[in-house]
Structure 1
Amino acid sequence: MSEKSLKIAVIGAGSSYTPELIEGFINNYSELPIKELYLVDIREGQMKLEIIGNLVNRMLKKKEIPINVHVTLNRREAIEDADFVLTQIRVGLLEARASDERIPLKYNCIGQETTGAGGFSKALRTIPVILDICKEIEELAPNAYLINFTNPAGIVTEAVAKYSKVKSIGLCNLPIGIKKKIANYAEVDIANLDIEWVGINHLNWTTKIKINGENVMEQFLNNPAGDQSFSVKNIPDFKWDEDFLSSLGGLPCGYLRYYYMTDKMLADELEAADQTGTRAEVVKEIEKELFEVYRNAEVDEKPKLLENRGGAYYSLAAVNLISSIYNNKKDIQTVNIQNNGVLSFLKDDASIEVNCVIDSDGAHPIQIQSEVKPHMIGLLQIIKSFEELTVEAAVKGDYHAALQALNLHPLVTSVTVAKPMLNDILKENKRFLPQFN
């Protein structure tokens, strides 16, 4: 890739997260000399895109970074000859996310953006759009890397790998966030911390924690460190039972509370939905405030208010990945790729989240050394089967695959719930799901 022509396209650039990404590009410009930056969105997001574009230009001007910014609704123009295409889209906007959260709650089931029925609904809307983008990449920028941050990231990664030829890597801010929190808790430099990660996107365990070469995993599972849980902003931080935590064999990510503490999490969601609104409804209010700040012509840096939106370390994860590919760094990062034998109990074409060596040829998985416990294997196999069926349903518009996927998920209580819930999801999302019509 030539420094004179490095081109990056950000699809879904009207997102409130974009200033965080731009901050990352600014801070790492010396090693990632972007020449052309295309910010793309759809017509419904044009106003937000223009606000973001103006803010981005102010941010770059303040730091005297010579990146040419193009604000456009023309996705093909943005993708053509790009070196990297970043996807951070939300099909149906926050209104659709709110329905993803509300519909399951109607049936006394967990309603969450990426987990359970909410993640299923989002995947049905998202996968066809992502695959359309992939077709354009194949045609217009066949050597480009697709870096996908769109949720549900693991399911999207699997769909792209199965149904396109694009060089794709799925990205989530959870791994880098957990690593930073562990380093902060242990009061060590993150460079001296080595962790191993077993699982899939939003369903994983940290199974090895080494500090300066010493394995301290047991200390984290058998003392109050485990109570920290290293959760993320949008998940209630209920404390783990000590016996349960020490028996796990790994530090659970925050999303595992939906499986391990379903009753508490559901009660919390129902109360929140009744009193303050679902997470999507809360985020809508945060975004109103954010875009008022972004609109201010005096603002020329990422505002602190963005921290309330969640998604911490997104720019760090994205820029680290792009820079490592561009500069052939051969460092280790945790990303979503095809399994290909790393986890022997899952299919080769399943997407997993795993430590990889990153170089100019992409992501190369590192074989897992930790023992994967039976309870981990069991849950992963169920959820991967759910994800496989969800991809099939989204691509083919297959009602029966959709019904079996939803019924299989542990957070959907029975087929007597799954079928009417599925019908509600299809009805609510009809204009986004032509494959089912």
Structure 2
Amino acid sequence: MRLTILGGGGFRVPLVYRALLGDRGPGRVTEVTLYDLDASRLTTIHKVLADQAAGHPDAPVVTVTTDLDEAVTGADFVFSAIRVGGLGGRAADERIALEEGVLGQETVGAGGISYGLRTVPVAVEIARRVAALAPDAWVINFTNPAGMVTQAMTAHLGDRVIGICDSPVGLGRRAAGAIGADPARVRLDYVGLNHLGWLCGLYADGRDLLPALFADETALTSFEEGKLFGADLLRTLGALPNEYLHYYYFNRESVGSALAAEQTRGAFLHSQQQHFYDSLGTAEGSPPSARAAWNAWDATRLEREITYMAENRDAVGMGERDSCDLESGGYEQVALALMRAIALDERVSLILNVRGRGRIDVLEDDDVVEVPCHVDANGARPIAGAPLPDHGKGLVCAVKAVEHAVIHAAATGERAHAVKALTIHPLIDSYAVAKRLLDGYQRHFPELGYLGR
């Protein structure tokens, strides 16, 4: 089976390759094609994968290319993990937003809208090329803002594009561990949009464990989300929010913490990862130490995990992350399970971003939502479950309207719809601010020239 990774020079690619190396089952991925516009980053990540493959005689063969059509032709699965504008773009998204006193996080608020306006046109073109050159391929989208981008790609790929995020899985695993349940044996009842959802049920042997978790103060505040939101708010909500809802429930504190920080998250990652790529790039020609590329990558990854959402923890006085919170939700394992389920008809249930088809009754059937799904050779289909909490309905509808406005602006070039997206977002409270934000983003990003002035 052949897998193509778009954004193949990206920092998280070795996580995917590690999962592939661990897959010993029939029908496993045997060929991996990495595509990226940046040839030097491709070379660096190729070095890391070569280190990973050492000692694996049947490791998937890796090839690299900077030609999109070559990359997707003949692929069985395509992972889309692109970043239009790079991490420097993310840093600019954050800085320009903070200058207006609003959040610029890459999927939440102004930064997510700017990122979406840059990314959706590129993602749609990728969808067109895949549909033309690999019509039987399945596209698994990791590109942020994941829900918005996945929805835009459905126009050309229909149900053959599925979005993935590891936040819900990580939340469920931490909550299960806090109450003493085996995370591998629980069923998660989760509902919402990408980075805007709630865990409404945590079932083991047919029993919902959430009431017991809410009743146990020590357990409830022992893991990341419990510390971020606090026991009182969680009990009032009656559900466990995705960690990204901290930007909504603690907006003033989040903005204040971001303004007080020495640098934004995007600026930190840009500097950190640039150092990683530069250090391996300058090692060209010198005899490398054993697994030097892998060791450098893994040290950088650990620092990235330790500092994840540091501003939010600072905003509520949490301090550093506990070791039990460092492990991600394992998006690469979710992706592997998704591929195997489709390719081999291995039926599984996974939390995915797919067209809702009425799963959330306040949204349109074609709107992409993030919910548990049954997956088999026919793709992914939403599972009936808990309704969207009443307190989340207005927020979900507002953010979905923002996504619609961004996708419309990207498709038509109508600047007014880009301003509309910024104006109606719950974390941006002014039409005047929205216009200034778009002006600032357009001055910085030539990719937004299609919107006019």
Q: Which residue of 2 aligns with 1:234?
A: none
**1:373-404 Cα shifts (integer Å, max 9, x gaps):** 32111111111111111111122211111111
Corresponding residue of 2:19: 24
Contact (CA 8 Å) 2:174, 2:223: kept in 1 or not? no
Q: In structure 2, do the counterparts of structure 1 residues 373 and 67 end up closer, same or farther at CA, with 3 Å as the change threshold?
A: closer
Identity %: 30
Does the Cα contact within 8 Å between 1:123 and 1:390 map onto a contact in 2?
Answer: yes
Partner of 1:245: 234
CA drift of 1:57 comes to 2.4
Partners of 1:267 and 1:238 in 2: CA distance: 19
Which residue identity does 1:298 align to in structure 2?
A
Contact 2:179 2:209 in 1 (8 A): no
Equivalent residues of 2:360, 2:387 under 8 A apart: no
- In 1: Cα distance, 2:336 partner to 2:107 partner: 23
Code of the aligned partner of 1:334: I
1:363, 1:165 → 2: CA distance? 12
Q: Is the 8 A contact 2:127 2:156 kept in 1?
A: no
Matched, 1:281 2:298: no
- 2:152 corresponds to which residue? 159
Q: CA RMSD in A?
A: 2.0
Question: Per-residue deviation at 1:186?
Answer: 2.8
In the TM superposition, 1:295-334 aligns within 5 A as: 296=288, 298-299=290-291, 301=294, 303-310=298-305, 312=328, 313-334=330-351
Task: Determine the structure 1 residue equivalent to 2:248.
Answer: 259
Q: Structure 1 pair 388/297, CA: closer, same or farther in 2 (3 Å)?
A: farther
TM-aligned CA deviation for residue 32 of structure 1? 4.6
| 1:377 partnered with 2:414 | no
Inter-partner Cα distance in structure 2 for 1:353 and 1:174 = 11
Partner of 1:39: 34
Work out whether 1:427 is the aligned partner of 2:419.
Answer: no
Residue 3 of structure 1 is matched in structure 2 by none
Would the aligned equivalents of 2:175 and 2:223 in 1 still touch at CA under 8 Å? no
Supply the distance in 1 between the matched residues of 2:342 and 2:159 (Cα, whole angstroms).
15
Give, in angstroms, the shift of residue 136 of structure 1.
1.1
**1:119-153 deviation line (CA, Å, top 9, x unaligned):** 00000111111111111111110000000001000
* 1:176-255 equivalence runs, <5 A: 176-224=169-217, 225-228=219-222, 230-231=224-225, 239-255=228-244
Alpha-carbon displacement from aligned partner over 1:132-188 (angstroms, at most 9, x marks no partner): 111111111000000000100000011111354471000111122222222332333
Relative to 1, partners in 2 of residues 1:114 and 1:161: Cα closer, same or farther, differing over 3 Å?
Answer: same
Contact 2:176–2:202 (8 Å) recurs in 1: no
Do structure 1's residue 72 and structure 2's residue 65 form an aligned pair? yes
Give the paired residue count.
420
2:320 equivalent in structure 1: none
Point out the more displaced range, 406-415 or 25-34. 25-34
**Given the alignment of the two structures, is residue 88 of structure 1 paired with residue 81 of structure 2, yes or no?**
yes
Summarize deviations over 1:28-82 as a string: whole Å, max 9, x none.
143452232101100xx21111011122123223222242211111111110010
Q: Unaligned 5+ residue runs, structure 1?
A: 1-5, 232-236
In the TM superposition, 1:314-393 aligns within 5 A as 314-368=331-385, 370-393=386-409
In the alignment, is the contact (CA less than 8 A) between 1:40 and 1:49 conserved in 2?
A: yes
How many Å separate the matches in 2 of 1:243 and 1:432? 44
The runs of 5 or more residues in structure 2 that have no matched partner are 309-327
Kindly indicate whether residue 95 of structure 2 is the aligned counterpart of residue 102 of structure 1.
yes
- CA distance 1:163–1:318, change in 2 (3 Å): same
Tell me how far apart the structure 2 counterparts of residues 418 and 163 of structure 1 sit (CA, whole Å). 30
**How far 1:268 sits from its partner (Å)?**
0.8
Equivalent residue, structure 1, for 2:423: 407
Q: Secondary structure at the match of 2:221?
A: helix
Code of the residue aligned with 1:316 in structure 2: it is Q
SS in 2 for 1:220: helix
Given the superposition, is the C-alpha separation of residues 339 and 227 from structure 1 closer, same or farther in structure 2, using an over 3 Å criterion?
same
Per-residue displacement from partner, 1:194-233 (whole Å, max 9, x unpaired)? 11001000001000011333212123334334434644xx
- 1:79 is matched by which residue type in structure 2? V
- After TM superposition, the score normalised by the length of structure 1 is 0.91
